[in-house]
Structure 1
Amino acid sequence: MVLLVLALVWGFQRRLIYLPDTTAVAPAATVLPGARDVVLETDDGVQLGAWLVPPANPDRGIAVLVANGNAGNRADRAPLARALAAEGLTVLLFDYRGYGGNEGSPSERGLAHDVRAAQRFLTHEANRILYYGESLGAAVVTELATETPPDGLVLRSPFVDLASVGREHYPFLPVSLLLRDDFPLAEQLARVKAPVVVVLGANDSVVPPEQSRSVAAATPTLKNLVEIPGANHNDSALVHGSALIKAIVELADQAAR
């Protein structure tokens, strides 16, 4: 029986890790006036839906690449994009493969292809780029930053690696032995040269705050650690609240100097 359970976990683990909203997303302008729909092409041939959100005036001259967490789709990040655009930042929201009506199935390797397509697109839209990663997305943009450095990196609710956060939720399983996707975020930060900001919720029940603090401690280029009191993983204060937006804008201003 134990072997059967482990075999099932091995076979279906990605359904526990990735929780996509697979429905097609509405046109950008119906959700974010002025935004436009774009299509990203990955280097392994997958097409991804995305929204490019223009900045309000004055334009700070910097773009934010938003890498989502493991659930929902880009429409759920519209309030974040709206708040950042109001501060004069260009914003790219995109969906990974298997999310938001996109073809394919998510995996660590697949998401690495996806975020590179987003980064390539943004290089034609802005001279300076911040990477913003939310939870799982923090690992996605950290890996990208080791290869293609941004002007700044914001990690919201980051975990040390996928096994570490998995053990918090499945302490009865040999998570490290079973995982097919690693996302070794803290280890990869040692190779990141860009300035880094870590934002966490003090009451995060998905990624324990201790995990995010450990990520901050492992960051050689840490510029700021922002703890939002009382905030859980999906609370508005941590998703698009004023403290989060301020931390991103301050890093953008530093990058613009």
Structure 2
Amino acid sequence: MSIRSGIKIVLVIAVVLLLLVALAWMFQRKLIYLPDATAPSEDQRPASAVDVTLHTEDGLRLTAWLVHPTDRDRGMAVLVAPGNAGNRAGRADLGQRLAAEGFTVLLLDYRGYGGNPGSPDETGLRKDALAAWRYLHDEAGFDNGRMIYFGESLGGGAVSHLATVEPPAAMLLRSPFTDLAAAGQRAFPFLPVRALLHDRFPVESDVAASAVPLTVVIGTEDSIIPAQQSRDVATSAEQAGATVTVVEIAADHNDAVLAFGPEVVQAVVDLSIHCGGC
């Protein structure tokens, strides 16, 4: 191969890499947020749920489901912040199972999800989580000492930040990452993810800042969020003085047992008992 040919190959590779970086910069949120933008149908709604409207501080009206307890009422609310894909219909089983344990459950859909207006980003999801808290506090009548935040994967970034502003009685994070860049680097090891990302979701530092009682549910076979990242979140919270429980389940990220299985539901029950909510 001649020197000239070698230079051409290097230039082609450089151009391709620059193009990939440029595309990642421009369309990164299309890779992060994977909403099902359709509004769930009535037959997807849990039997004891009602439609409610959340009002964000930037003027959006978001639809959500409030699932009423179907067993003895514990007098506690669980705010469920979902992960990055689907809509609230995919969390109906979780809502029903928590309601059967006596919890009032708010199944949040972010902006751009589940028929809601707007486009998701970190700032927006924080506002959406705050709107959900405001509904539970102002409309449903739950003070912070009777709330548990449940953050699923990316949703952990929304509620862990909310906990620094409005600390709940306790919080459960299912499959949390330390921060979004760490999760993104695993998915795209060939890109300078930390330098490119617009959204950060610093879960590890947020749980340390709030130091509320915390349960971390980990999928030991998680192929999307490494189990060690979730363990690091738990360790940081514990070092900050929080009471921390770790529940490890032999499951992958999207397995039903990790989404709404008995160990996950029992973890919420245990948190409520620990914080004196029963």
| TM-score between both structures, scaled by the size of structure 1 | 0.96
The aligned counterpart of 1:61 is 75
SS in 2 for 1:98: coil
Match of 2:50 among 12, 36, 41: 36
Give, in angstroms, the shift of residue 31 of structure 1. Answer: 2.5
The aligned counterpart of 1:219 is 237
Q: Is the 8 A contact 2:177 2:229 kept in 1?
A: yes
The aligned counterpart of 2:153 is 135
Match of 2:259 among 222, 232, 239: 239
The aligned counterpart of 1:208 is 226
Unaligned runs of 5+ in 1: none
Give, in angstroms, the shift of residue 5 of structure 1. Answer: 1.7
**Separation in 1, partners of 2:89, 2:131:** 19
Q: Is the 8 A contact 2:81 2:108 kept in 1?
A: yes
- Do residues 23 (structure 1) and 41 (structure 2) align? no
SS in 2 for 1:16: helix
**Separation in 2, partners of 1:165, 1:252:** 30
Give the aligned residue type for 1:189.
V
Q: Is the 8 A contact 2:48 2:70 kept in 1?
A: no
Unaligned runs of 5+ in 2: 1-14
Q: Percent identity?
A: 52
**Separation in 2, partners of 1:226, 1:237:** 12
Q: When the two structures are aligned, how many residues end up with a matched partner?
A: 255
Give, in angstroms, the shift of residue 34 of structure 1. Answer: 2.2
Deviations 1:147-197 (A, max 9, x none): 110010000000000010111110000000100001111011111132000
**Separation in 1, partners of 2:167, 2:270:** 18
Give the aligned residue type for 1:3.
L
CA RMSD in angstroms, aligned pairs only: 1.1
Q: In terms of Rg, which structure is larger?
A: 2
Deviations 1:122-149 (A, max 9, x none): 0132241100000000111000000110
**Separation in 1, partners of 2:232, 2:273:** 26
1:91-130 matches, cutoff 5 A: 91-123=105-137, 124-125=139-140, 126-127=142-143, 128-130=146-148
Give, in angstroms, the shift of residue 90 of structure 1. Answer: 0.5
**Separation in 2, partners of 1:142, 1:30:** 28
Worse overlay, 183-192 or 140-149: 183-192
| TM-score between both structures, scaled by the size of structure 2 | 0.89
**Separation in 1, partners of 2:121, 2:188:** 20
SS in 1 for 2:216: strand
Note closer, same or farther for the CA distance 1:30–1:71 as it changes in structure 2 (3 Å cut). Answer: closer
Q: If each structure's helix is expressed as a fraction of its own residues, which one has the higher value? A: 2
SS in 1 for 2:48: coil
Worse overlay, 18-27 or 68-77: 18-27
Give the aligned residue type for 1:120.
R
Q: Is the 8 A contact 2:44 2:89 kept in 1?
A: no
Q: Is the 8 A contact 1:62 1:256 kept in 2?
A: no
